Structures are given as structure tokens and as C-alpha cells.
Amino acid sequence: MAEFIKIYEENPNPKEIKRVVDTLRKGGLVIYPTDTVYGLGCDIMNTRALEKIARIKGIKLAKANWSFICADLSNLSDYARQIDTPTFKILKRALPGPYTFILNGNNNLPTVFKKKKTVGIRVPNNSITKALVEELGNPIVSTSIRDDDDVLEYTTDPELIYEKWENLVDIVVDGGYGGNMASTIVDLSTGYPEIIREGKGNLDII
């Protein structure tokens, strides 16, 4: 059964952040808040954990289109090919924020993602997410947790999320009520911004 850990966004408790990150390092699955909806994530370096998420989502790991949650733009060169100036200016304007940017991947991608040509990068404007990634030292692979309800696509109440996921994950972080609108997805892999999904976030800055 999962642990239910309260962390306040205004001032994330370093001890609780470390507890969550220790679980991530051991291959655990964690549900945590972002600046949009709650996400299901694991350590990008842990193949077994990635396989667990793929099984839960009912997809093949090689075909998964998950986001890499980064603490800031300094992680980009680790996984994305050289970024030109206009693209970097868009990223700088929009991040941290509720956007997922699709960029061309490079050869440093973890083994299970080596065949993918592109990678989705997120830098959420949420201090809990940022603290988790900084403590871990590398990105968290993340996917949104969807709801079975057609009207309410995303559950916003962490206690209800815990009830639904307590037997599937290791930790649910209660960071307060989440949003019910996913991130805006922007494809920058061709050098020209293309909106793939309109979600939270102002399109004017793209």
C-alpha cells in the first residue's frame, strides 16, 4: 500500500522530499503535483520502474510518449540536440510553466528511449516538482493520471487519487488540490512551433 505524504508547495520540507526521492531511486512509482494536473512518475534511469508504468498504462515501453520533468533549462542539453536561438528564446519565455515542448532527442537518452527521435520536456512551475528533480539529480519520467470519468478528465483531490492508486504506486504526494487542465504541447522539433494540444498556458508567448 502506498504512503500518503503531505508536502506544502510554499515551503517543501527537505526531509519529506528526500523520502520521496529515496523511493524513486529504489525504483518506486510516485504520484506528485505539477503546475497542471497530478503526474505519475519514476526515475528516468530505472528501466524496471519505467516498465511498471508502461504496464499500468497498458502500452509498450518503446512506444511510450512520456515527458521528462526537468528542474530548469540546464538539463536540456543532456537529452535534446543542439537548440537554435529562436527555439531557446521560446523555451526561456515559457518555462517554467504549463507547457510540454517536443524537441529532437540526442544520443544520451536512456537505453529504452534510444530509438525515439524526439523527447517531450517539461519544466513545471511548482516548487515540489522542482525540489524532487533537484534532489534526484536527473529528470523524472512522467505521465498524467487520467480519470475514468468522461466529464472530469483529471482528478484534482489528492485523497481521491490516493484511494484509486494506493495499490499501484509507492507514494502519493499530497501537494494540495491539483488542476484539471493538462499542459499545452508544442512541437519544436522542426524549428517552427506547432501546437499539438491546447491546454493550460498562454499561447501568445509561443
Question: Left (φ > 0), alpha (ψ -120 to 50) or beta: where does 114 sit?
Answer: alpha
Residue 147 pLDDT greater than 80, yes or no: no
Phi and psi at 200, nearest 5°, equal -70, 150
Task: Give the pLDDT band of residue 151 (cuts 50, 70, 90).
Answer: low
Residue 161 pLDDT greater than 60, yes or no: yes
* Predicted structure pTM score: 0.93
Per-residue pLDDT averaged across 172-196, rounded?
A: 94
Per-residue pLDDT averaged across 35-61, rounded?
A: 94
Domains located in the chain, CATH noted: 3-205 (3.90.870.10)
Question: Between the CA of residue 2 and those of 51, 164, 199, what are the distances in Å?
Answer: 18, 11, 30
pLDDT attached to residue 191? 82
For 55, how many CA atoms within 13 A lie in the half-sphere containing its CB? 9
Q: How many CB atoms lie within 10 A of CB 109?
A: 18
pLDDT attached to residue 206? 83
Looking at residue 44, its amino acid is I
Task: Give the pLDDT band of residue 112 (cuts 50, 70, 90).
Answer: confident
Residue 152 pLDDT greater than 90, yes or no: no
Task: Give the pLDDT band of residue 76 (cuts 50, 70, 90).
Answer: confident
Tell me how far apart the alpha carbons of residues 197 and 161 are, in angstroms, rounded to a whole number. 24
Residue 146 pLDDT greater than 90, yes or no: no
